[in-house]
Amino acid sequence: MRPILMKGHERPLTFLRYNREGDLLFSCAKDHTPNVWFADNGERLGTYRGHNGAVWCCDVSRDSMRLITASADQTVKLWNVQDGVQLYSFNFDSPAKSVDFSVGDKLVVVTTDPFMGLPSTIQVKRIARDPNEQTTESVLTIKGPVGRINRAVWGPLNKTIISAGEDTVIRVWDTETGKLLKEADKEIGHQKTITSLSKSADGSHFLTGSSDKSAKLWDARTLTLLKTYVTERPVNACAISPLLDHVVIGGGQEAVHVTTTDRRAGKFEAKFFHKNLQEEIGGVKGHFGPINALAFNPDGRSFSSGGEDGYVRLHHFDPDYFSIRM
């Protein structure tokens, strides 16, 4: 089907997130206003106004009532999904890069950038059921990784936190004690900055994308490397299909080089790979800048991509996609 072009942001996209039912799509961009869209027809439902810097990441609660956003304005804000009212704002000493709700939505993990001499951190906050009782203190603060932590997510049963970032090492932390449990092997791991991390639907494995032009699939419990997908361009975004054994990875020539050559050279494609054969299935072209964000609809029948060009492209798969034989 023809993709639906969603123009609601004035700056490059940074993150995309579907709610659990798959009827809403939340988009974050370097302009200061996250948007929410109908995931079916691409109509814009509303915006969340209040941030004063690029919004890097967001997450939505299981019941689709609360949205949480991380921004470069050094805050993480909690919103009411329905009416766009800001419920609470956590203040940090440095820009917040990623957020992720735990199972049960009672905890949230936030990463902050290294800033003005402060090291990067992973922090866990408790989310109160009633926003009026919300407090700001962290349940847990983890320091250690060097450079930006681009993404931190919850492991199975909220027992671990998985982090990845500029120092190319994937780490698993204990959520009770904050201790480092596992570290991915440097030899087999990524060689350059890990730009993105995306969990499978059941949280059993996850996919990381890196500037070293590859994406890798890992077991969330044992941190064993399962698969590697190699492309020709730095990877900025990745996602795992909840329906078929497919993964999609996107990226492209680095933004600073884009203007120097032809558009064809950039390879701004969302590439589909077979998850366990590691073979390329096909690509979806369209963006005229690198792809920064990718997300599958939880039903696996559509996906959306967000680019440096400021567009969100919503793709509903054609019937023949579901009959691809490898």
Partner 1 sequence: MAEVISMADIEASAARIGIDLSSINLDSIQLPPGEDFGIQSGDDGDLYQDDPLEFEGGFGNIIVVDNLPVVPPEKFEKLEGVIRKIYSQIGTIREGGIWMPVSPDTQKTLGYCFIEYNTAQEAELAREKTNGYKLDKSHIFAVNVLDDFEKYMKVPEEWKASEIKPYMPGENLQQWLTDEKARDQFVIRAGSNTEVFWNDPRQLMPELVHQRQYWTESFVQWSPLGTYLATVHRQGAAVWGGASTFNRLMRFAHPQVRQIDFSPSEKYIITYSSHEPSNPRDSHRIVINIFDVRTGKLMRDFKGNVDEFATGGSGGVSGISWPVFRWGGGREDKYFARIGKNVIAVYETETFTLVDKKSMKVDNVVDFSWSPTDPILALFVPEQGGGNQPARVSLVQIPGKEELRQKNLFSVSDCKVYWQNNGEYLAVKVDRYTKTKKSTYTGFELFRIKERDIPIEVLELDNKNDKIIAFAWEPKGHRFAVIHGDGPRPDISFYSMRTSQNTGRVSKLMTLKSKQANALYWSPAGRYILLAGLKGFNGQLEFYNVDELETMATGEHFMATDIEWDPTGRYVATAVTSVHEMENGFHIWSFNGKLLYRISRDHFYQFLWRPRPPSLLTTEKEEEIAKNLKKYSKKYEAEDQDVSMQLNEQDRKKRKMLQDQWNEWVAKWKQWHEEERQFRIQLRDGEASDEEEEYEAKEVEVEEVLDVSEEIVADQD
Q: Does 2 contact partner 1 by CB under 8 A?
A: no
Calpha distance 286→229 (Å, rounded):
21
Question: What sign results for the dihedral spanned by CA atoms 252, 166, 17, 30?
Answer: negative
Phi-psi region of 129 (alpha: psi -120 to 50; beta: other; left: phi over 0): alpha
The pairing of strands 107-112 and 121-126 is antiparallel
Calpha distance 311→300 (Å, rounded):
21
Report which of 208, 195, 124, 187 is spatially closest to residue 165, judged by C-alpha positions. Answer: 195
Q: Does 219 contact partner 1 by CB under 8 A?
A: yes
34 within 8 A of 25, measured Cβ to Cβ: no
Report which of 196, 236, 192 is spatially closest to residue 217, judged by C-alpha positions. Answer: 196
Rank residues 2 and 129 by Cβ distance to partner 1 and give the closer one: 129
Q: Does 283 contact partner 1 by CB under 8 A?
A: no
**Contact pick of 157, 183, 185, 282 for partner 1 (by CB under 8 A):** 157
The number of beta carbons lying within 10 Å of the beta carbon of residue 323 is 7
Q: Does 253 contact partner 1 by CB under 8 A?
A: yes
| Stretch touching partner 1 by CB under 8 A, among 90-98, 134-142, 202-210, 308-316 | 202-210
**Contact pick of 228, 232, 280, 324 for partner 1 (by CB under 8 A):** 232
- Footprint (CB under 8 A) of partner 1, residues 93-112: 102-104, 106
CB of residue 204 to partner 1, shortest distance in Å: 4
**Contact pick of 118, 139, 188, 277 for partner 1 (by CB under 8 A):** 277
The pairing of strands 13-18 and 246-251 is unpaired
Q: Does 243 contact partner 1 by CB under 8 A?
A: no
Q: Does 118 contact partner 1 by CB under 8 A?
A: no
At 67, give phi and psi (nearest 5°).
-115, 140
Rank residues 102 and 210 by Cβ distance to partner 1 and give the closer one: 102
**Contact pick of 146, 176, 183, 324 for partner 1 (by CB under 8 A):** 146
Q: Tokens 């590859």, residue?
A: 214
Element (H, E) at 13: strand 13-18
Site for partner 1 (CB under 8 A): how many residues? 29
At 260, give phi and psi (nearest 5°).
-80, -20
| Alpha helices by DSSP H, the chain | 263-266
Rank residues 221 and 301 by Cβ distance to partner 1 and give the closer one: 221
- Residue 181 structure tokens: 């449990």
| Stretch touching partner 1 by CB under 8 A, among 9-17, 23-31, 46-54, 271-279 | 271-279
**Contact pick of 84, 114, 156, 178 for partner 1 (by CB under 8 A):** 156
**Contact pick of 10, 43, 176, 245 for partner 1 (by CB under 8 A):** 245
CB of residue 105 to partner 1, shortest distance in Å: 8
- Name the site residues for partner 1 (rule: CB under 8 A): 62, 102-104, 106, 144, 146, 156-158, 202, 204-205, 219, 221, 226, 232, 245, 253, 257, 260-262, 264-265, 275-277, 326
